[in-house]
Amino acid sequence: MPKPDADPTVQLDLSVDRSSPVPLYFQLSQQLEAAIEQGVLTPGSLLGNEIELAARLGLSRPTVRQAIQSLVDKGLLVRRRGVGTQVVHSQVKRPLELSSLYDDLEAAGQRPATKVLVNTVVPASAEVAAALGVTEDGDVHRVERLRLAHGEPMAYLCNYLPPGLLDLDTGQLETTGLYRLMRSAGITLHSARQSIGARAATAAEAERLGETEGAPLLTMQRTTFDDTGRAVEYGTHTYRPSRYSFEFQLLVRP
Amino acid sequence: MPKPDADPTVQLDLSVDRSSPVPLYFQLSQQLEAAIEQGVLTPGSLLGNEIELAARLGLSRPTVRQAIQSLVDKGLLVRRRGVGTQVVHSQVKRPLELSSLYDDLEAAGQRPATKVLVNTVVPASAEVAAALGVTEDGDVHRVERLRLAHGEPMAYLCNYLPPGLLDLDTGQLETTGLYRLMRSAGITLHSARQSIGARAATAAEAERLGETEGAPLLTMQRTTFDDTGRAVEYGTHTYRPSRYSFEFQLLVRP
DNA sequence: GTAGTCCGATTGTCCGGACATTCGGATTGA
DNA sequence: TCAATCCGAATGTCCGGACAATCGGACTAC
């Protein structure tokens, strides 16, 4: 009985457009990622050696390697010296990005709505001043929002921003997420420090979220930095655990 | 009045050992990382252009770029075309790894202790079977542990492992973390899917953790995969929010 | 003075090649 | 039969060079 080939080397029709301004390695990595996404490249299948792949596409090996490496970094491929490069056995989706709750809900088809409760300038408390790196009692923007999904309150978001960074329009805040506003204002987000915990709801918190006093709440604090190292946002959020949990995938750094 | 140079190009004494089996780019990236860690390379300072750095070290530019790129991926450096490469303005520590609670506590100097409550083989429930990708009612290892810090219970950990993967010695489980055991058994961890939430403690949970019934608990579910895509571990954990919260740093993918 | 333009500096992309290292199977030997 | 050895295959590392794209400051023109 002939044994079926378990991990065949897949032949794809790949091509690159040298007249395009898009980098060649990026064109290739996108095509490979699409092939994996659509199941053309099945989990476990080998990708064929780099040399031949480069020759087939008329590219150099470094370029092909750069394309493959970007997918390895995303967790979609695994390289094994002496063996080859193969597609990871699925399960991998998104390796945890610095995403906004708004975008997450929208992607999940939850039709998020936002109610801006407060949008003003206040003197910075000691906590906020320390997080944002501004002087205490200096001006900071304060935004309080209630995030709803299907008309039900899901989270209470309280955010602080350093002054002069961004015009915070209440109308815009109700139709999109804070991160998207910041990015479109030319701020390049770089990293964030997060802390996720839980605690019992105070009376005021319970009131806001439609829970009862003492009910468990999921809490998140976050400070976000841009690529110059400035803190550009500090926020304390509380979530209804029956409506929301943090789901993410993370990769092991090799 | 002479204006002090805010972001000077720093001169370091770097060197590489060509007789070492350690890759040159790795030697360089380690030295740069150490210089950043120790404050020799101050936040905001420029790194000097790649060409000259390569010439100074007797390396080629691709090698230097590979070293720099690895630090950019770690979030320690930022590159700007036409400007140069500069050290990120601090704040960056660890970009969230797939770490074990045991190692985290140990690194924080908390002297963690583990009490193994259950270490046995059981038939897989539907939930466990789905997570691990084994047949329902098939054998799986079940480990229940209580993790303590300073003698106080901090978390209750319930884990399932597919059969035949690992010898689970109760003594070893009490002196180290599960991940370390798996790694030393030759399993290369690749990624994990996590879900963090909160809920009120049941009577049994409260009893185990020394809380009262209805107290808020922080919960985490995780399925871990190796680089072949096999699920190698599934666990449901509950934490006392007064004793533990998830703290991590995450990077924005450029 | 202010706006637009030019230009040097620096990183980004890409090439073609060379050798080293590791894996896994096939061969060989006990 | 089983273990040790060899060998092909594939990725890992490294080189030296070339040109493109972009940033920021200096210069120029109005």
Q: How many contacts (CB atoms, under 8 Å) link A and B?
A: 154
From chain B, the residues in CB contact with A216 under 8 A are: 198-200, 215-217
What is chain B's length? 254
Strand nucleotide closest to residue A68 (CA to C1'): D11
Number of Cβ within a 10 Å radius of residue A104: 18
A184-189 mean pLDDT: 84
User: Does the nearest atom of strand C lie within 7 Å of A80's Cβ?
Assistant: yes
Q: Which residue of B has its CA nearest to A195?
A: B247
Full set of structural domains in chain B with CATH: 8-87 (1.10.10.10), 92-247 (3.40.1410.10)
Cβ–Cβ gap B191/A249 under 8 Å: yes
What are the φ and ψ backbone dihedral angles of A239, each rounded to 5 degrees?
A: -120, 150
Give the Å distances, CA to CA, from A254 to A73, A192, B59, B100, B107: 9, 22, 25, 16, 20
Chain B residues closer than 8 Å to A84 by CB: none
Q: How confident is the model at residue A209 (pLDDT cuts 50, 70, 90)?
A: very high
Length of chain A in terms of residues written: 254
All residue ranges of chain B with pLDDT < 50 are: 1-6
pLDDT at A58: 94
Lowest mean pLDDT, pick from A69-78, A80-89, B6-15, B48-57: B6-15
Q: Which amino acid, B102?
A: Y
Strand D contacting residues by CB (7 Å): A 21, 47-51, 61-62, 65, 79-85; B 23-26, 58-63, 66, 80-83
Confidence (pLDDT) at B96: 61
pLDDT tens-digit map of B72-130: 999 899 999 999 999 987 665 665 666 676 777 677 777 788 999 999 999 999 999 99
Residue A4 pLDDT exceeds 60: no
Q: Which nucleotides of C are covered by protein (CB under 7 A)?
A: 8-18, 21-24
pLDDT at residue number A96: 61
Tens digit of pLDDT for each residue in A214-235? 999 999 999 999 888 889 999 9
Residue from B45, B68, B237, B211 nearest B145 by CA: B237
* Length B34 CA → D23 C1' (Å): 29
pLDDT at B9: 59
Q: Specify the pLDDT at position A1.
A: 37
Average predicted confidence (pLDDT) for chain A: 87
Strand partners, A234: A160, A223
Nucleotide nearest residue A23, measured CA to C1': C13
Measured between CA atoms, how close is B114 to chain A, in angstroms? 22
pLDDT at position B186: 80
Find which of A128-132, A181-185, B108-112 is predicted with most confidence, using mean pLDDT.
Answer: A128-132
* Structure confidence at residue B6 (pLDDT): 45
CA nearest to B98, candidates B192, B204, B233:
B192
Measuring alpha carbon to C1', the residue closest to nucleotide D14 is B63
Q: Picking from A81-85, A102-106, B177-181, B208-212, which range would have the lowest pLDDT averaged per residue?
A: A102-106
User: In this complex, which of A91, A195, A241 lies closest to B199 when CB atoms are compared?
Assistant: A241
Question: In chain B, what residues touch A243 (CB-CB under 8 Å)?
Answer: none
Question: Which among B231, B161, B70 has a CA at the least distance from the CA of A92?
Answer: B231
DSSP string for residues in A85-134: EEE--S----------HHHHHHHTT--EEEEEEEEEEEEPPHHHHHHHT-
Q: What is the CA B83 to C1' D29 distance in angstroms?
A: 28
pLDDT at B242: 94
| Per-residue model confidence (pLDDT) at position A61 | 95
Q: Is A39 left (phi over 0), alpha (psi -120 to 50) or beta?
A: left
DSSP state of B45: -
pTM of the model: 0.86
